[in-house]
């Protein structure tokens, strides 16, 4: 078994709501290798963000609660750490870029002030040292006239520039792991490509490991080495990125890939759509959570939730059906 810089085992997170307890993450296990880029894909509500927020200790309690599992980083379990201990890990060793940079940045503090704070807190820099480093970081992520722009407020930056600031802030303390939670969702396509290229370049220069959460399978293809596909709070397929696109196995993964427009098709074909709605899990399912939406579902699928089973080397899927033959696996 390879050595992982982050090893998550059996993670379960629930949320108490007026209608009942929602089982948002249900026994998720995965490892992240040093310098590896791991893509996490799936539709809204499948548990991608909650999994990573749980690892970071950022689940608001109440209503959220981590009820089981562990996340081992540098020999310590992040799940069992106190708030004070986590403060020294977050930002310094594991950093996170959030989906909406406007709500992640403090609107009443200058960009310089927000960049300087983690440098003084985690690295022990003086005010002047932190100021110089903040200007370097803004230049590194492609913001012109960086020194002058430190005095600006978030509303004076465009959406793409604010996301660059978030990346600069995340990288300020040279973390070992960067978690990016759909960092390009609110941006137009051109800026999305620039941000993705920037993260790739910085990853290669700094050698950090990345977890990239996204809906966009196109971004995953160009950025990640390995992919986790999530559905209903479970990992339902795990594969090297090339193998996932060449040999998708789970019916849900087939649906996701079938919904992508292709430029290499000789004839025009209708995009595939997955019928039905994702589950709201007030109870952990005894059957496969995808069975109600699956055209391949067999009787066994309604009786038992499949574990992740090896399909090929390093490729696992949680499905009782061989989708190529339609027969029980």
pLDDT tens for residues 229-239?
999 999 999 99
pLDDT of residue 1: 43
Outline where 172-210 has alpha helix (H). 189-206
Q: Which residue has the tokens 């190529």?
A: 324
Residue 13: which pLDDT band, with cuts at 50, 70 and 90? Answer: very high
Decide which of 170 and 23 is more confident: 23
Tell me the two tokens of residue 67: 């009820």
Whether residue 33 is predicted with pLDDT greater than 50 in this model: the reply is: yes
Angle between helices 127-140 and 159-171 (to 10 degrees): 130
With contact defined as beta carbons under 8 Å apart, do 78 and 161 qualify?
A: no
DSSP class of residue 41 equals E
Least-confidence region, from 37-51, 130-144, 193-207, 208-222: 193-207
Looking up tokens 């209608």 gives 19
**How many secondary structure helices (H) and strands (E) does the chain include?**
11, 14
In this prediction, residue 268 carries a pLDDT of 65
The arithmetic mean of pLDDT across residues 157-174, rounded, is 84
| Pairwise CA distance, residues 172 & 264, whole Å | 41
Rounded to whole angstroms, the Cα distance separating 19 from 36 reads 40
Is 244 a residue whose pLDDT tops 80? Answer: yes
- What is the SS3 assignment for 280? coil
- Token look-up 């870029």 returns 97
Q: What is the pLDDT of residues 100-138, one digit of tens each?
A: 766 778 889 999 999 998 888 888 889 999 999 999 888
Q: C-alpha distances in angstroms, 221 versus 37, 139, 207, 216, 310?
A: 11, 28, 19, 9, 22
pLDDT higher than 90, residue 7: yes
H or E stretch including 83?
Answer: helix 83-89
> Per mean pLDDT, which range of 54-63, 87-96, 184-193 is the poorest?
184-193
* Max CA distance (Å), the chain: 67
pTM of the full predicted structure?
0.88
Confidence of residue 278 (pLDDT cuts 50, 70, 90): confident
> For residue 73, is it left (φ>0), alpha (ψ between -120 and 50) or beta?
beta
| pLDDT confidence of residue 267 | 65
The single residue listed with the structure tokens 């090929």 is 312
Q: What is the dihedral of CA 282, 50, 43, 291, to 10 degrees?
A: -40
For residue 19, count other CB atoms closer than 10 A to its CB.
8
Does the pLDDT value for residue 70 go beyond 90?
Answer: yes
Q: What is the mean pLDDT of the chain?
A: 87
Q: Do residues 183 and 99 lie in contact, with contact meaning Cβ atoms separated by under 8 Å?
A: yes
- Coil, helix or strand for 220? helix
């Amino acid at each position: 078994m390879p050595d992982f810089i982050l090893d998550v085992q059996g993670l379960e997170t629930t949320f108490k709501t007026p209608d009942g307890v929602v089982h948002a993450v249900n026994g998720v296990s995965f490892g992240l290798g040093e310098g590896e880029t791991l893509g996490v894909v799936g539709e809204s509500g499948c548990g991608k963000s909650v999994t990573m927020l749980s690892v970071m200790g950022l689940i608001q309690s109440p209503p959220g609660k981590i009820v089981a599992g562990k996340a081992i980083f540098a020999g310590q379990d992040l799940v069992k750490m106190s708030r004070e201990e986590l403060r020294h890990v977050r930002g310094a060793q594991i950093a996170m870029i959030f989906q909406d940079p406007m709500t992640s940045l403090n609107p009443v503090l200058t960009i310089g002030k927000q960049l300087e704070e983690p440098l003084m807190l985690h690295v022990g820099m003086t005010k002047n040292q932190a100021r110089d480093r903040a200007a370097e970081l803004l230049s590194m992520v492609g913001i012109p006239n960086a020194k002058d722009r430190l005095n600006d407020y978030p509303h004076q930056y465009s959406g793409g520039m604010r996301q660059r600031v978030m990346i600069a802030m995340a990288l300020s303390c040279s973390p070992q792991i960067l978690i990016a939670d759909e960092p390009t969702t609110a941006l137009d396509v051109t800026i999305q490509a620039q941000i993705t290229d920037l993260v790739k370049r910085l990853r290669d220069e700094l050698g950090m490991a990345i977890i990239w959460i996204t809906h966009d399978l196109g971004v995953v293809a160009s950025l990640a080495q390995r992919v986790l596909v999530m559905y209903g709070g479970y990992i339902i397929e795990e594969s090297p990125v090339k193998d996932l696109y060449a040999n998708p196995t789970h019916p849900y993964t087939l649906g996701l890939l079938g919904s992508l427009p292709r430029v290499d098709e000789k004839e025009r074909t209708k995009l595939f759509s997955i019928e039905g709605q994702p589950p709201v899990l007030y109870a952990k399912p005894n059957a496969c959570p995808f069975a109600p939406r699956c055209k391949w579902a067999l009787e066994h699928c309604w009786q038992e939730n499949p574990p992740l089973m090896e399909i090929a080397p390093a490729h696992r899927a949680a499905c009782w059906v061989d989708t190529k033959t339609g027969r029980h696996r």
